[in-house]
Amino acid sequence: MCTVCGCESHHTHDHAHHVPHGHEHGHAHHGEGLHTRVLQLEQDILAGNQHMADHVREHLAGEHTLVLNLVSSPGSGKTTLLVETVTRLQAAQVPVAVIEGDQQTSFDAERIRATGIPAVQINTGKGCHLDARQVHDALHELPALPHGVLMIENVGNLVCPAGFDLGERAKVLVFSVTEGEDKPLKYPDMFQAAGLILLNKCDLLPYLGFDVDKAMGFIRQVNPDAPVLQVSATTGAGFEDWMAWLRQQCAAS
Ligand X SMILES: Nc1nc2c(ncn2[C@@H]2O[C@H](COP(=O)(O)OP(=O)(O)OP(=O)(O)O)[C@@H](O)[C@H]2O)c(=O)[nH]1
Q: Which residues of this protein are in contact with ligand X, per CB under 6 A?
A: 72, 74-80, 102, 108, 156, 200-201, 203-204, 232-234
Measured distance CA(147)–CA(96) in Å, rounded: 9
Q: How far is the CB of 79 from Mg ion (least distance, A)?
A: 3
- Residue 201 interface partner, choices ligand X, Mg ion, none, CB cut-off 5-8 Å depending on type: ligand X
- Residue 8 interface partner, choices ligand X, Mg ion, none, CB cut-off 5-8 Å depending on type: none
Q: How far is the CB of 30 from ligand X (least distance, A)?
A: 38
Measured distance CA(253)–CA(249) in Å, rounded: 6
Measured distance CA(215)–CA(226) in Å, rounded: 14
- Residue 101 interface partner, choices Mg ion, ligand X, none, CB cut-off 5-8 Å depending on type: none
Are the beta carbons of 81 and 238 closer than 8 angstroms? no
**154 in contact with Mg ion (CB under 5 A):** no
Q: How far is the CB of 27 from ligand X (least distance, A)?
A: 37
Counting residues that bind Mg ion (by CB under 5 A) gives 3
Task: Name the E strands within 111-148.
Answer: 119-123
**79 in contact with Mg ion (CB under 5 A):** yes
Residues 6+ apart with CB under 8 A from 227: 196, 197, 245
Query: C-alpha angle 5/11/16, rounded to 5°?
Result: 145
Give residues in contact with Mg ion (CB under 5 A): 78-79, 108
